[in-house]
Amino acid sequence: MIENGAGLSRIERISAEHLGELLVHAYSSPVMPELMSSLPVLAVDGTVMRRQAESPVQGRAHLKTGSLNGVRSIAGYVLDQQGRRWVVVFMANHEMAGATRPAQDALLDWVYQRP
């Protein structure tokens, strides 16, 4: 269910799996360059400017964050140390969702370091 397209609604519904599938399909679409350029770059700009500035994944991820009371999410693309691009989706819907940032950052580091 999509109410306004920005995700700033409690009516909107998408699973992490479906968001991941959407990102995979979007990457192979003709509008992929516009999508990628619209996503903030980790530790460089936008809502992820102040995240993981000292991490090797800095500058290697295009991500969108999301937050409402009791909800935290991050999704987008990570370029790993071997030059492969991965889709990542992390969603938490719980009263303690605000405490998930270290887990989100750990996910990005793990994807970057995949063998």
pLDDT exceeds cutoff 60 at 1: no
> pLDDT value at position 78?
98
> pLDDT value at position 68?
85
| Cα 94 to Cα 41, 61, 91, distances in angstroms | 27, 26, 10
Mean pLDDT value across residues 73-98:
96
> pLDDT value at position 65?
94
Options 3.40.50.300, 3.40.50.10420, 3.40.640.10, 3.40.710.10; CATH for 16-112 is 3.40.710.10
Structural tokens at position 73? 């999410």
What's the mean per-residue pLDDT of the chain?
A: 92
Domain ranges of the chain: 16-112
Which pLDDT band, with edges at 50, 70 and 90, does 5 fall under?
low
| Cα 12 to Cα 7, 36, 74, distances in angstroms | 6, 23, 16
> pLDDT value at position 13?
77
In percent, the amount of the chain with pLDDT more than 70 equals 91
